[in-house]
Amino acid sequence: MKILSVFLILFLCPSLLPAQYAAESENVCQSYLTIQGFGINSLGNFKEDWKDGAGGYVGYGLIYPSHWGLTFQTGYITFKENAEANLGTDPSFTIIPIMAGGRYYILLDRVRPFLTAMSGFNLVSEKSTREGHAVDEFLVKLGFQIGVGVQVGLFSNLAVEVAGKYNSHLLNPNVPYNATGLEYGVALNWTLGR
Amino acid sequence: MRRIAAALVLLLLSQTGLAQFDLNAQSELDTGFVANQALVDSLNPRKSLLIPVGEAIGMNLTLGAFNAYVTNSVFARISFKTIGENFKSGWATDADGLVTNMFAHPFHGSIYYNFARSSGYNYFASLGVAAIGSWQWEYFMENEHPALNDWVMTSVGGSLIGESFYRLSNLILDESAEGSERVWREIGAGVFNPGRLINRLFYGRTARVTSARLYDTAPSAGLLAFGMNNVAEGTNLKSGEKNGMMTFEYTYGRLFEKHSFKPMDFFRLYAAVNFSKQPGLGQLRLYGIIYGKNTSTGGKNRFLWGVFQHFDYLENNIYQIGGTAVGLGIGYRTSPDAPVVFAGTMHGSVLLMGAANSNYAPDYKVGFLDSARTYNMGPGAQGKLDAALLWSWGSFNVGYTFWWIHTWDGAPGDELIGMWTPRLRFKVYGPWSIGLEYLLYHREGKYKLFPNVSARNNEQRLSIGYAF
């Protein structure tokens, strides 16, 4: 019952928003804080070693009246070993991304579909055993994301966002062996000011 | 007798003077033309972003079809499977020729860029469209892994070239002109800027006649020079091959007379073309300001700081170097009213992607590449000095560029390459001048798997120049 109540509130609140919400956002720059949880489905030869991942981002964003946005985010991603990979006991593969990027909001209304592209540095840490040799590496590598999402205003200062992104985090482009994957996540955005 | 002859030559030459920094050493405030934004918005309204993005993708599809069905290129045989494989693999690097990767791709990117720029978008949004166009090409239009080096050179290098060529086409376009003059102006601007020409046709601007001036311009100056060079094997001046050559240098905008800058309000372009014995395109070098501020340090002395973008492509029988960089720069100019004027800039930049030829590169095999690499490639750093002393009779310039390339692809290691370019130029008569230039290249190659390389080479140039 509690879950149903929360769902109803979340569903109904958008329709109770002030009418000027959209009009205001057309004319002023907005800034917001964001917190996001997500999962990643690995792709390619990376998936043969590290099957899937999960993590969270915290970030800061700006939305301009011109429909463009700037975003900055950092977080933590951890991947699970592929059971068939045999990477030793307690292998781990983690990424701390530090990224900046842009967004283009197709609509600047209560519902805001957007395109996003981000790039930056990843602090990559791997502990595993490969072909009998212990691997304990810390690397700084480039990371890229591109994707689509939609942001829906819940209250005047709070919006929920869902996004799907393609990730291509460089590991070794000479092979190529990269942490590629499809990321899907949900975020809450708190508007700081207009 | 020789001394007398030399003294006579110097006396004759001392009656003249010209320098590439002349424009920035002049105190007259010709600030160019800045269009009224309201007028621009009414006559050239911003178009939907979907148009330039669609044009970029449309150009890719057209070029891809040409590659697949006309030239029958293997790399162009794409399918949903090859696209899926590209998404799975993510970024790699490719081993196409240096000219293709470090020169042709940026020019391709300048067309993407100008689809957006001529649709009413600014530098950064247009850079984004170039990045989207290049990304779509890399992931969708080739059955090879998407090449990160291509994406960087096409989008970042392409934006620098694209905005510079947008400014050059502004100087040529005149929408008050009619008849054959108008046709030739549109075609002339289109040579520099084919992406803009396509949109001018598409948006109906080539046929429009209006007295309204819609395009910003800035004062500019150039020098076209013909002469000879000698690229020596080492530092022995007598060795090497003589070659006829033409150089073109061009300065757009006044670096020390504006208080603040938009991207490419100031840029400098240098090109060298060889007539024989050396590669046809000897150099194409370009740098320009993205953002900056000028301050007075007393009187008419000026200090400048800013963010600059660089593109370099150099090729002779000994060196092949290419790259694009972004970084900070500072500049200083003494009062233009003094008998001797100093003007110069100094830069420290991140080399986003660079490449240098290496005999070791073909020996370092990369399994997935379908052709042998002839150069080492990767990111690194770049330093640049560009300074001049100016007299009424001529100028003395010193240029120096240093590249550090950390090999991502090629023989593992680091390339450290520098190029000094001191030059004397004397006015002879009116716009005519004589130039003497000495270039010293130095190189240290430090490799993990191969013996290190250390080399020095020089080049001498003698030219007659015409200033415009």
Please give the Cα distance from B351 to B325 (Å, whole number).
Answer: 4
- In a shared domain, residues B194 and B229: no
- In a shared domain, residues B77 and B193: yes
Please give the Cα distance from B381 to B355 (Å, whole number).
Answer: 12
Asked whether the beta carbons of B56 and B136 are under 8 A apart, the reply is yes
Can you point out the beta strands (E) in chain A? 30-42, 50-63, 68-81, 92-105, 111-130, 133-153, 158-172, 177-193
Classify B394 in phi/psi space as left (phi over 0), alpha (psi -120 to 50) or beta.
left
Among chain A residues, the shortest Cα distance to B135 is held by A146
User: Which SS3 state, helix, strand or coil, does residue B23 take?
Assistant: helix
Q: Which long-range contacts (CB under 8 A, 24 or more apart) does A71-77 make?
A: A71/A34, A71/A100, A71/A101, A71/A102, A71/A103, A71/A116, A71/A118, A72/A99, A72/A100, A73/A34, A73/A36, A73/A97, A73/A99, A73/A100, A73/A118, A74/A98, A74/A99, A75/A36, A77/A40, A77/A53
Q: What pLDDT, on a 0 to 100 scale, did the predictor assign at position A2?
A: 55
Provide the 8-state DSSP code for B276.
Answer: S
Give exposure, B251-278, as e/b (b: 16+ Cβ within 10 Å).
Answer: bbbbbbbbeebbbbbbbbbbbbbbeeeb
Q: Name the residue with higher pLDDT: A81 or A5.
A: A81
Q: What is the CATH number of the domain that holds B285?
A: 2.40.160.40
Interface contact A173-B408, CB threshold 8 A: yes
- In a shared domain, residues B301 and B339: yes
Interface contact B93-A146, CB threshold 8 A: no
A86 pLDDT above the threshold of 90: no
> Which residues of chain A neighbour B135 with C-beta distances below 8 Å?
146
With a CB-CB cutoff of 8 Å, which residues 20-79 of chain B face chain A?
49
Interface contact B90-A44, CB threshold 8 A: yes
Tell me which of B41, B87, B134, B365 to substitute to probe the interface with A (most A C-beta atoms closer than 10 Å). B87
Whether residue B373 lies within 8 A of chain A, CB to CB, comes out as no
Interface contact A170-B90, CB threshold 8 A: yes
Q: What pLDDT, on a 0 to 100 scale, did the predictor assign at position B258?
A: 86
Over range A45-49, report the average pLDDT: 93
Specify which residues A33 forms β-bridges with.
Answer: A60, A190
Quote the mean pLDDT of chain A: 86
User: Which SS3 state, helix, strand or coil, does residue B335 take?
Assistant: coil
> Which residues of chain A neighbour B125 with C-beta distances below 8 Å?
68
Q: What pLDDT, on a 0 to 100 scale, did the predictor assign at position A4?
A: 52
Whether residue A170 lies within 8 A of chain B, CB to CB, comes out as yes
Please give the Cα distance from B328 to B307 (Å, whole number).
Answer: 5
- In a shared domain, residues B55 and B182: yes
> Which residues of chain B neighbour A173 with C-beta distances below 8 Å?
90-93, 148, 408-409
- For residue B207, being part of any structural domain is answered with no
Give me the residue label for tokens 């008569």: B429
Q: What is the CATH number of the domain that holds A77?
A: 2.40.160.20
Structural domain boundaries enclosing A77: 2-193
Q: How far is A188 from chain B (nearest CA, A)?
A: 27
Radius of gyration of chain A (CA): 19
Whether residue A116 lies within 8 A of chain B, CB to CB, comes out as no
- In a shared domain, residues B187 and B226: no
- Here the tokens at position B112 are 């993407």
- For residue B32, being part of any structural domain is answered with no
Provide the 8-state DSSP code for B103.
Answer: I
Asked whether the beta carbons of A164 and A182 are under 8 A apart, the reply is yes
- In a shared domain, residues B462 and B353: yes
- For residue B312, being part of any structural domain is answered with yes
3-class secondary structure for B145-213? CCEHHHHHHHHHHHHHHHHHHHHHHHHHCCCCCCHHHHHHHHHHHHHHCHHHHHHHHHCCCCCCCCCCC
Q: What pLDDT, on a 0 to 100 scale, did the predictor assign at position B366?
A: 62
Q: Which residues of chain B have pLDDT under 70?
A: 1-31, 365-372
Interface contact A173-B93, CB threshold 8 A: yes
Give exposure, B361-378, as e/b (b: 16+ Cβ within 10 Å).
Answer: beebebeebeeebbbbbb
Structural domains of chain A, count: 1
- Here the tokens at position A66 are 């011109």
Q: What pLDDT, on a 0 to 100 scale, did the predictor assign at position B299?
A: 86
Backbone angles phi, psi at B447, to 5 degrees: -120, 150
- For residue B214, being part of any structural domain is answered with no
Structural domain boundaries enclosing B367: 15-26+219-467
Please give the Cα distance from A44 to B86 (Å, whole number).
Answer: 9
Whether residue A16 lies within 8 A of chain B, CB to CB, comes out as no
Domain boundary among B202, B235, B267: B202
Among chain A residues, the shortest Cα distance to B144 is held by A176
Structural domains of chain B, count: 2
Distance of CA A146 to the CA centre of its chain: 10
Provide the 8-state DSSP code for B259.
Answer: S
Among chain B residues, the shortest Cα distance to A167 is held by B90
Q: Which long-range contacts (CB under 8 A, 24 or more apart) does A7-12 make?
A: A10/A154, A10/A160
Whether residue A179 lies within 8 A of chain B, CB to CB, comes out as yes
Please give the Cα distance from B409 to B34 (Å, whole number).
Answer: 45
Provide the 8-state DSSP code for A13.
Answer: G
- In a shared domain, residues B188 and B224: no
Interface contact B87-A174, CB threshold 8 A: no
Tell me which of A70, A124, A170, A174 to substitute to probe the interface with B (most B C-beta atoms closer than 10 Å). A174
> Which residues of chain A neighbour B410 with C-beta distances below 8 Å?
none
- In a shared domain, residues B309 and B445: yes
- In a shared domain, residues B79 and B227: no
Give me the residue label for tokens 């290249």: B441
Q: How far is A171 from chain B (nearest CA, A)?
A: 9
- For residue B31, being part of any structural domain is answered with no
Please give the Cα distance from A77 to A59 (Å, whole number).
Answer: 15
> Which residues of chain A neighbour B49 with C-beta distances below 8 Å?
104
- In a shared domain, residues B229 and B190: no
- For residue B2, being part of any structural domain is answered with no
- For residue B6, being part of any structural domain is answered with no
Query: Model ipTM?
Result: 0.82
Provide the 8-state DSSP code for B331.
Answer: E
Give me the residue label for tokens 């020409």: B197
Among chain B residues, the shortest Cα distance to A41 is held by B88
With a CB-CB cutoff of 8 Å, which residues 149-208 of chain B face chain A?
none
- In a shared domain, residues B188 and B257: no
Tell me which of B88, B134, B151 to substitute to probe the interface with A (most A C-beta atoms closer than 10 Å). B88
Q: What pLDDT, on a 0 to 100 scale, did the predictor assign at position B236?
A: 78
Whether residue A107 lies within 8 A of chain B, CB to CB, comes out as no
- In a shared domain, residues B187 and B228: no
Q: What pLDDT, on a 0 to 100 scale, did the predictor assign at position A87?
A: 87
**Residue A10 pLDDT grade (very low, low, confident, very high; cuts 50, 70, 90):** very low
Candidate from B49, B92, B131 with C-beta closest to A176: B92
